[in-house]
């Protein structure tokens, strides 16, 4: 199939009076890494939630791999091929790290538990969490919990991975490791990725394309170099900083 992996058209969401997302349009080409950036409260996580089906959009359309998925619930959208992480991590605290990842894997291979365990451990090795597999998830540090979020989403075997600030709180070295891991997933497994990120060094290193949101609207898009020199983008970031 050709055409983009994800296409978002005229997407909008109102929370009571507040217009959190307004007329947002962008595409994620197959096999690309696209970054969604913008100041705090710009509507990035809300856009993710609309794509992943946490709640339905007020208006607009979301298409995954040519299929209209607008308004489907989260579980169906996951089964359609979107794996997501939560900005505020949601580990299954009482389960082990391995079991956390097995849950997503169990939808495959006819629910075979041992195959799911094997798949989970492969993913944990990839994310350098292998030696913590048997620990309860509640004992993990925040950076490890972020990695666990990625591992859980990957276990569902997504076509498109949505990552909401998985670099936040990571030290520069850890951040570079994560960049390397994501690059590997993208290059070797052809995984398409849409990520929200504040850490600009990660955005610059990873993304083919960047979409910038501000006050719920798209104000710019282009290559990393293009958007970082775009006057509107500079204005909104600097404007925030200077009050």
Partner 1 sequence: MTAANLLSDRRAILLLGLLAALAAAPLAAGDYALSILITVLLQAYLGMAWNVMMGFAGQFSLGHALYVGLGAYAGGALFAHFGTPPLVGALAGMVVSAVAGSIIGTLGFRFKVMGVYFALLTIAFAEFTRVLFDHWNWVGASSGLFLPVSHSVNDDFWNLRGSATMFYYVILGMAAAAFLFSRALLGRRIGYYWQAIREDQDAADALGIDVFRAKMVAVIISASMTSLGGLFIAFYNNNLYPESIFSMHRSIELMLGTIIGGIGTLFGPILGAVALTALGEALTVIGAHIGIDGVKQIAYGVCLMVILAFRPGGLWPWLRHRLRLDGGRR
Ligand X SMILES: Nc1ncnc2c1ncn2[C@@H]1O[C@H](COP(=O)(O)OP(=O)(O)OP(=O)(O)O)[C@@H](O)[C@H]1O
The binding site for Mg ion (CB under 5 A) comprises: 45, 87
Torsion sign, CA atoms 93, 52, 3, 193: negative
Least distance from ligand X to the Cβ atom of residue 35, Å: 13
Closer to Mg ion by CB, 39 or 71: give it: 39
Least distance from ligand X to the Cβ atom of residue 167, Å: 13
Choosing among Mg ion, partner 1, ligand X, none, which partner's interface includes residue 226 (Cβ < 5 to 8 Å by kind)? none
CA angle 34, 37, 42 (to 5 degrees): 135
Torsion sign, CA atoms 184, 152, 197, 35: positive
Choosing among partner 1, Mg ion, ligand X, none, which partner's interface includes residue 181 (Cβ < 5 to 8 Å by kind)? none
List CB contacts of 84: < 8 A, sequence separation 6 or more: 48, 52, 78, 153, 161, 162, 163, 164
96 binds partner 1 (CB under 8 A): yes
Choosing among ligand X, Mg ion, partner 1, none, which partner's interface includes residue 14 (Cβ < 5 to 8 Å by kind)? none
Q: Are 22 and 57 in contact (CB under 8 A)?
A: no
Q: Are 18 and 41 in contact (CB under 8 A)?
A: no
Stretch that binds partner 1, among 9-17, 90-98, 167-175, 196-204 (CB under 8 A): 90-98
Closer to partner 1 by CB, 34 or 51: give it: 51
């Amino acid at each position: 199939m050709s055409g983009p992996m994800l296409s978002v058209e005229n997407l909008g969401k109102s929370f009571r009076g507040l217009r959190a997302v307004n007329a947002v349009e962008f595409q994620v080409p197959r096999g690309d890494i696209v970054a969604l950036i913008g100041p705090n409260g710009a509507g990035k996580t809300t856009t993710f939630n609309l794509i992943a089906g946490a709640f339905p959009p007020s208006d607009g359309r979301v298409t995954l791999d040519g299929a209209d998925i607008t308004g489907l619930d989260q579980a169906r959208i996951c089964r359609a091929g979107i794996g997501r992480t939560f900005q505020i991590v949601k580990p299954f605290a009482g389960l082990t790290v391995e079991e956390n990842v097995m849950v997503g894997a169990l939808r495959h291979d006819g629910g075979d538990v041992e195959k799911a365990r094997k798949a989970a451990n492969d993913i944990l090795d990839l994310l350098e969490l292998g030696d913590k597999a048997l620990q309860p998830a509640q004992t993990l540090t925040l950076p490890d919990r972020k990695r666990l979020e990625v591992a859980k989403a990957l276990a569902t075997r997504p076509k498109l991975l949505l990552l909401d600030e998985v670099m936040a709180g990571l030290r520069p070295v850890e951040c570079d490791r994560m960049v390397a891991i994501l690059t590997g997933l993208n290059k070797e497994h052809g995984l398409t990725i849409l990520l929200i990120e504040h850490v600009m060094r990660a955005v610059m290193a990873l993304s083919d394309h960047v979409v910038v949101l501000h006050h719920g609207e798209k104000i710019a898009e282009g290559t990393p170099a293009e958007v970082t020199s775009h006057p509107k983008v500079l204005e909104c970031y600097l404007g925030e900083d200077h009050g």
